[in-house]
Chains A and B, each alone.
Chain A
């Protein structure tokens, strides 16, 4: 579905991504893990059209994305949950969700479908239903993250890209968010999950990529990566399962 080849991204004179190849198949949940400053968010920005200075090839459903505006990319089916949630704090929860369907509302006949999707999102995150008319800025961190995901789903994406959805959330909330992503994947949605929290992401992912200083250093099935000795040393810590709940509650460990 998404095919990235030899991607090089620049922030002015600084090269943040130095030739990355990445592939996501339909219905897959792929995670891209890496430390701060490794280039994860830059890659997301390039895919979503928010960064213009890049070379290489990004294809979505065999169509090149080069030169497309973010609005055109959203229309083609890529929706993003930005880092730090970036909800519209002065707008109501409902208005935030409706904004997610901004590119769809243009067609009158879509109004009913959008209303149905709104109901679907509110069923997925019932807490948002109770707070629908509240300004989004008054929600807690976890609720804001749910709103950000719900807002992205309102565009009815083919590919959902999440940039560090677990940042700043309590372990239980991280678990809730990740299990929702698993649920969405099981319903057939393709997901690209960018995470620092490597084990939490790999627990639910089908495949994973590890990125370091702008280069993919490791890739493979998520289960293989979880058992990779190098990765354990660098990101997971040798006895990571025993280390929780200091950091997080891994899904499968809990189960």
Chain B
């Protein structure tokens, strides 16, 4: 068995039982909600990792798509009485179209310039959420978002929502892994290595970058949809610049170009603030310190860093 294949099975072997058992064992709605948030953040991080880690295109405004997803479903369900499941395809279509229109001119940029461009886009969307008050509710946000339900199953129950989110995460992980291993996935990875060489081989890099930009926006929209129907209240503060930066941090901390890294990065950055409440005023200092230490000692991210440590210990035993 190839080492990569072994690693992948190992990760599935850890991931699936942990999720299945957590849902059964944990009774506290608070802990279940924290785990559900990890799932939502994982969706965001996987999408961004496809764009940043695999295609090598930075986005510092991804919270905008997260917000567009959340606000679209909210507006449709609250103002227009759509059922949430009917609002979902509309949410994905609207976000996809925005990503297409923004990505078309934006992806001509590269490196820092693309970072600046996406940052600007994120800011504009944030201001729009805050100032377009008769549609978005302005700074005070929007309330009364209906909870999800499917026939007799109500997702207002924390445990049900936990399983729903993680089922979606699982589907996304499998989808992304298959995509990465495919012909298109190879082309995607080649863009981050050398865009010119990829072009010379016949890869339509412009088209492919746009498609992956839209895909990552759709992941963010899905996360936004799940977030809105989980908390049933949204406000612009949940989709500001800092959220975009937190997403990028999750990708980097977990490990660029690694689907499992996205999961780990999202888990660490969601759990860390919850665990650091004890430090009270020094919470952010300790948080920053931990991130610094991870980057100093594991510059390739947690997944690869931990794997390196494991491989070193195995080779020492041999």
Contact = CB atoms under 8 A, between A and B. Distances in A.
Interface string B1-21: 010000000000000000000
B204 interface: yes
Contact of A75 (B183, B193, B202): B202
Looking at chain B's contact residues, is the secondary structure mostly helix, strand, loop, or mixed?
helix
Contact of B186 (A79, A82, A98): A98
A90 B201 CA distance: 17
Contacts of A86: 194, 196-197, 200
Contacts of A70: 199-200, 202
A155 interface: yes
Interface string A67-92: 00111011100011010001111110
Contact of B183 (A73, A80, A105): A105
A155 B201 CA distance: 8
B202 A103 contact: yes
Given A82-B197, A86-B194, A87-B197, A155 B186 contact: no
B267 interface: no
Contacts of A80: 200
A88 B189 contact: yes
A100 interface: yes
A69 B189 CA distance: 20
Given A86-B194, A88-B194, A133-B2, A95 B200 contact: no
Residue among A95, A99, A106 facing the most chain B CB atoms (10 A cut-off): A99
A235 interface: no
A151 interface: yes
A131 B189 CA distance: 20
A69 B196 contact: no
Contacts of A105: 183
Contacts of A49: 199
Interface residues of A, number: 30
A69 B201 CA distance: 11
Nearest to A154: B201
A102 interface: yes
B187 interface: yes
Interface in B171-199: 183, 186-187, 189-190, 192-194, 196-199
Interface in A6-59: 48-50
A50 B200 contact: yes
Given A70-B202, A88-B190, A103-B202, A98 B197 contact: no
A48 B190 contact: no
Contacts of A79: 201
Interface in A144-167: 151-152, 155
Contact of A102 (B2, B194, B203, B257): B203
Given A50-B196, A82-B196, A102-B183, A90 B202 contact: no
Interface of B: 2, 183, 186-187, 189-190, 192-194, 196-204, 257
Given A82-B197, A90-B189, 16 more contacts: A49-B199, A50-B200, A71-B203, A73-B202, A74-B201, A75-B202, A79-B201, A82-B196, A86-B194, A88-B189, A89-B193, A91-B186, A91-B193, A99-B198, A100-B201, A105-B183
